[in-house]
Amino acid sequence: RVRIVREGEDFLCWLVGNISSSLFPGSSYERGIMALELLVTVIDVWQPRAAMHPDPALLGLTVTEEQESRIASSLFTEEAVNAVINAVVNSFDHVRKQALEVLLRFPAPLPGLETEEEVKKLASWAQSLIASPRARESDAGGLILKVIHLKYVKQLGWLGDPWRSSEEVNEARKQYPHPSVFFIHELLLEVDRVISAARTSFESTFSSSFAQGLLLALRHLLPDIELPSAISIERGDTSAEQVEEWRRILQEMLHRM
């Protein structure tokens, strides 16, 4: 049995490695989409808890924590993360969306992006993509911010901002202690900054996406916002101040969109 488990792990390492090598820059649509769809299937079968719609039969299978950990280390590699993140910038919409589906199945933090400094570099790259006049790049930047929000802000409580220095962030987050509210608020401030700059120098908007990329990012983030429920308010889990905070941030989002 031990031999069979090891053979399975070796097979997974080989398969994920081959899939990742297919996701190189400039690869064809067919190669990219097949690799990503195959990776989704492999994750959903071997790590059913990570699936969006897990198969009850697979969830019922008995595995030890050690076996599950070894399977996860074979599936969720730094090489795979880098390959899939690069696929987010693909020319084809469907490939970008499928790459997002894969990343949402990966654990938090993403392998190879465990430190705050590494996440800041990823966020800065997303910022540069968002500012691009190319539609696919600005959309890709928004998708990467969505991943950062889901994996680091919501799941790990990361409080960061790619547009401001650490000192400015530390001061600003005193006003918005909730990670998601703070993250979205900083994004809204950047929208205001871009619009204000365009009013003083309209020519500068021709070399960037203007606010299109930022608004796309807001659109991608909107479905991930979990508003306080009536039950949580009745139980006292959510204060009136928190409810008002969410209401205000949503009003600001809708006003800009």
Q: Which of 55, 73, 107 is the last residue of a domain?
A: 107
Same domain as 69, residue 84: yes
* pLDDT tens-digit series, residues 131-172: 888 888 999 999 999 999 999 998 998 876 666 666 666 666
Same domain as 130, residue 254: yes
Same domain as 243, residue 138: yes
d(CA 136, CA 131): 11
Residue 110 has pLDDT above 90, yes or no: yes
In the chain, what is the greatest distance between 2 CA atoms, to the nearest angstrom?
A: 70
pLDDT of residue 235: 61
Residue 119 has pLDDT above 80, yes or no: yes
pLDDT, greater one: 241 or 125: 125
Average pLDDT over residues 14-34: 91
Same domain as 62, residue 142: no
Same domain as 121, residue 93: no
Same domain as 14, residue 94: yes
The tally of domains found in the chain comes to 2
Same domain as 103, residue 119: no
What is the domain range of residue 196?
A: 114-257
pLDDT, greater one: 208 or 21: 21
pLDDT, greater one: 174 or 90: 90
Average pLDDT over residues 228-248: 67
Contacts of 60 (CB under 8 A, 6+ apart): none
Same domain as 68, residue 17: yes
Contacts of 22 (CB under 8 A, 6+ apart): 31, 32, 34, 35
pLDDT of residue 152: 93
Average pLDDT, the chain: 82
Q: Is 90 in contact with 32 (CB distance < 8 Å)?
A: yes
Q: Which of 63, 90, 107 is the last residue of a domain?
A: 107
pLDDT, greater one: 202 or 92: 92
Quote the tokens at residue 149: 């929000």
Lowest mean pLDDT among 78-87, 104-113, 117-126, 195-204: 195-204
Q: How far apart are the first and last CA of the chain?
A: 57
Long-range contacts of 86-93 (CB under 8 A, 24+ apart): 86/23, 86/24, 86/25, 87/23, 87/32, 87/36, 88/140, 88/143, 88/144, 89/129, 89/136, 89/137, 89/140, 90/32, 90/136, 90/140, 91/136, 92/29, 92/32, 92/33, 93/136, 93/139
CB atoms < 10 A from the CB of 166, how many? 11
Lowest mean pLDDT among 10-19, 39-48, 70-79, 173-182: 173-182
List the one residue out of 251, 113, 240, 134 whose CA is nearest residue 184.
251
Same domain as 118, residue 99: no
pLDDT of residue 35: 95
Average pLDDT over residues 173-186: 78
Average pLDDT over residues 9-24: 89
Residue 218 has pLDDT above 80, yes or no: yes
Same domain as 183, residue 154: yes
Q: Which of 107, 133, 159 is the last residue of a domain?
A: 107
Q: At residue 242, what are phi and psi to the nearest 5 degrees?
A: -65, -40
pLDDT, greater one: 107 or 62: 107
Same domain as 131, residue 18: no
pLDDT of residue 200: 76
Average pLDDT over residues 86-109: 94
pLDDT of residue 180: 84
Same domain as 96, residue 35: yes
In the block, tokens 């959510």 appear at 238
